Structure 1
Amino acid sequence: MSAAFELLHRVLSLLVLALAVRIVVDAWLEVPYSVLLILIGVMISVLRVDVGLRLSNEIIMTLVLPIVLFNGVLELDRAALRENVAVPIVLVVVGVPLSVALLGSVGTVAFGLPILVSLLFAAIVVPTDPVAVLSLFEELDAPERLSVVIDGESLFNDGVAIVIVNVLLALAAERTTPTDGLEIAGEFVADVLVVGVGGFLLGCCLGYGATRIIRRIPERMAILLVTVLTAYGSFVLAEHVVGASGILATVGAGLFVEPTVDGDAVDGDTFAFVRDTWEGGAFLLSTLVYVLIGAQVPIASLIDHLRAILVAAGLVLLVRAVIVYGLVGAVNATATRPFPYSYQHVLVWGGLHTVVPIALALGLPAWVAHREFVRAMVFGVAIVGALVQGFLMPSVLRAAGIPTRVSRAGSTEGAS
């Protein structure tokens, strides 16, 4: 059997398994599809079944995330995002650094880690994951305003977290303890401005240029190719040519690829075709990723560090609560349309930490102190959070009094 045929066989086997899960979820279960796929993957890992496929930092960052992020941005309601932009912006720009500082500081006491290693673990695990969050809220059909805020936050915070991780890795390579707070703060601000904001602005420019081209092309396959080149081209150009954030460049490009029809310049059916194609591609890739995350869980290491993992999962959720209630409360103090308190509960509980944190953990250099412990903790928090928070999300929404429609055949609850 050739290597190509073997790869095709393994991919098709996983897709058949995913199809069976999808049918079961749609017909009988009130469980998010993505969470159940992760559980199936964990069972594969427990049974020690070799699926023949493995995730890596490079695969997730360069292949999976650009298509998932670009699709996520295309699906966003731009008008709703503009009306509610204050909450996700504050949670990303202020909330992510504060979360890293708070969780990292507590982690040094809870786990006995050096401060830089603890901060590194915090920066890896803190960002809410766009792959998991977007899928979860699509399954639950949550209210539009809540979905837009959570989607907006999740699409941006992984890029900011990656910048912070890179800064901490550079610091760890130079010294074992941070001795100059002003120097560290200066490096952090410089990297955020140059790497983060620079990548985002580059993507915005490329997205705007792509929109100008799209409106001059009548053929839908050509338009689809333009969007593919924009999504992956912005990532490659920012990451490997300019030295900026490729993830934020892809998000910026997606925001400025205008998905609405401008007069008679672009046919509405063409945009529907392009968006459906992107949605299908993102669905297939994320389906495989969910299963492989579970299948790649280091079961023995998780058992060895189970107590620390449970403590870490609780701390991550607690820090998330402190940041969300504190910062959203501050935004509400000046907002003309406050973000409902019930939505804040879901914002806390819906903060899943799976694909992006695992990609960052897999990419840790061998010289990082306590690397295997950090990896086990990240995998553990991802699995515990996805299973516990994911399975209980419909109940949390009901308890918060938020009407939803769970996407199952013949089953609806309220209206969003």
Structure 2
Amino acid sequence: MRGIEPLLASVVAIFAIAFVVRRLVDRRSDLSYASVLVAVGLLVSVLGVDFGLELSADLILAVLLPTIVFEGTTGLDVRELRRNAVLIVVLAVVGLPLGVALLGLLGTVAFGFSLLVALLFAAVVLPTDPAAVLSLFEQFDVGDRLSVTIEGESLLNDGVAIVVFSTLVAAFQQADGAGGAVASLATADEAAWFVFDVALVGGGGFAVGAVVGYVAHLGARRLRDRLAVMLLTVVVAYGSFLLAEWALGVSGILATVGAGLLMGAHEQTHEHMSAPESFVQQVWHVAAFLVSTVLYVLIGAAVDVAQFVQYGEFVVLAAVLVVLVRALTIYPLVTATNRVLEDPLPLRAQHIMVWGGLHTVVPVGLALSLPPGVPEREVVQTMVFGVAIVSVVAQGLLMPAVLRATGYDRPDLSRSVR
């Protein structure tokens, strides 16, 4: 019993801090809940307070992330998602790999990394987390289209980034060091196999989850017991992850995305959900909120302040380059996709997408899972944690100003530029 009490005390302390932060945010509509939580966690680290809770890659990627992902997918407006599916897929499937390549090349010059280390850093740091900005979107009543596009892109690019990262790590481990891994990927055949492997693992994971989710969706429609539906969603969320990741060797996170999308899909809008569906969605929303709360505080608290200061120039430069690379992918890809869309996404919305690309949960999880033999591992991890802090605190806290500058703080205007 003694072993569990300190852990319980730490969790209670985190929720007590979160309660105070939540009350503060309720009084100040221009503050982001996630941003303030991370800032508080960083303050805790500066003060030397130890919660006794250690973040690990398995805890984030296999235990906590599926909760956030499943809740995000089941909560999406299905009709709005269909309208913007082409853009979301382009941004995740084309935009993320393109961003990894761009940031990888820039990283060799800016940080002096080898190409493989620079690509690994890019694959780790670029996945986005929209939770910090979506809460502000709700406060400012930003249109559904922008919210769904940003969240849908994030849900997909998390899975794509994990697949790209895993493939790069496998290439490093199978080759003779970083130089051998880059040389192996530089040949046309190996590059083609790399792309094929990413597509197979990612697409296979999504397909597995979609099948599981659709079958569960049909079954849930026959149930009237909301607790039974709740239990079924837990089995689907984590069962699809385990089936894909452990049994079939494909992407578990994308399986959870596929399962959530297909299980949460229904013919009517979310305003006309059945009572069991509404209850389950509320429970998942609370679960994701609690998980995110703990994660944001622990991410801030896990920062090694001494290393953060030591590599401060790299952290700031990396944060700037991440925003630059996101701009270099968002603007051209959205502009190109607008040509085939009946309702093009306006430029002011693209500004929000660039600035709203925060990088926290998945980047931290991937950074912690870097193999010990990777060159510059400590530097990369420090930079990723630093970018997470800078992005969620600076970009998150400045998001209200960006919303005002683009006119998205006015509900009538934001809906007119859906």
TM-score, normalised on structure 1? 0.94
Go from structure 1 to structure 2 and tell me whether the alpha carbon gap of 1:302 and 1:354 turns closer, same or farther (over 3 Å shift).
same
CA deviation vs aligned residue, 1:76-115 (integer Å, no higher than 9, x gap): 0010111111221111111011100000001001111000
Shift of 1:334: 2.5
Moved more, 346-355 or 124-133: 124-133
What SS is found at the alignment partner of 1:402?
coil
CA deviation vs aligned residue, 1:288-317 (integer Å, no higher than 9, x gap): 111000000111111001111111111110
Task: Select 1:394's aligned residue among 396, 400, 403.
Answer: 400
Inter-partner Cα distance in structure 2 for 1:102 and 1:282? 32
Shift of 1:38: 0.3
Tell me the equivalent position of 1:61. 61
What SS is found at the alignment partner of 2:309?
helix
Shift of 1:216: 2.1
| Mapped pair 1:215 → 2:189 | no
Instruction: List structure 1 runs of 4+ shifted beyond 3 angstroms.
Output: 130-141, 258-262, 413-416
Asked whether the 8 Å contact 2:136–2:400 carries over to 1, the reply is no
Inter-partner Cα distance in structure 1 for 2:11 and 2:319? 32
Shift of 1:28: 3.1
Inter-partner Cα distance in structure 2 for 1:196 and 1:332? 26
In structure 1, what residue type is equivalent to 2:69? L
Tell me the equivalent position of 2:193. 187
| Mapped pair 1:44 → 2:44 | yes
Inter-partner Cα distance in structure 1 for 2:228 and 2:32? 35
Any unmatched runs of 5+ in structure 2?
none
Any unmatched runs of 5+ in structure 1?
406-412
Task: Select 1:198's aligned residue among 193, 200, 204.
Answer: 204
Inter-partner Cα distance in structure 1 for 2:127 and 2:337? 20
Tell me the equivalent position of 1:72. 72
Over the matched positions of the two proteins, sequence identity in percent amounts to: 49
CA deviation vs aligned residue, 1:26-81 (integer Å, no higher than 9, x gap): 02352110110000000000111011112111011111111111100111001011
Asked whether the 8 Å contact 1:32–1:140 carries over to 2, the reply is no
Task: Select 1:365's aligned residue among 360, 363, 371.
Answer: 371
Tell me the equivalent position of 1:345. 351
RMSD over equivalenced CA pairs, Å: 1.9
Inter-partner Cα distance in structure 2 for 1:75 and 1:289? 20
Tell me the equivalent position of 2:126. 126
In structure 2, what residue type is equivalent to 1:113? F
CA deviation vs aligned residue, 1:349-381 (integer Å, no higher than 9, x gap): 000001100000011111111000000110111
Asked whether the 8 Å contact 1:10–1:51 carries over to 2, the reply is yes
Inter-partner Cα distance in structure 1 for 2:30 and 2:41? 19
Asked whether the 8 Å contact 2:204–2:250 carries over to 1, the reply is yes
Tell me the equivalent position of 1:11. 11
What SS is found at the alignment partner of 1:352?
coil
| Mapped pair 1:81 → 2:81 | yes
Inter-partner Cα distance in structure 1 for 2:410 and 2:157? 26
Tell me the equivalent position of 1:275. 281
Asked whether the 8 Å contact 1:81–1:149 carries over to 2, the reply is yes
Inter-partner Cα distance in structure 2 for 1:267 and 1:129? 27
Inter-partner Cα distance in structure 1 for 2:61 and 2:253? 8
CA deviation vs aligned residue, 1:266-286 (integer Å, no higher than 9, x gap): 972211111001001111111
Task: Select 1:305's aligned residue among 301, 308, 311.
Answer: 311
Inter-partner Cα distance in structure 1 for 2:28 and 2:137? 18
CA deviation vs aligned residue, 1:194-214 (integer Å, no higher than 9, x gap): 210000000000001101211
| Mapped pair 1:290 → 2:289 | no
Task: Select 2:235's aligned residue among 229, 233, 236.
Answer: 229
Inter-partner Cα distance in structure 2 for 1:358 and 1:246? 18
Tell me the equivalent position of 1:328. 334
Tell me the equivalent position of 1:106. 106
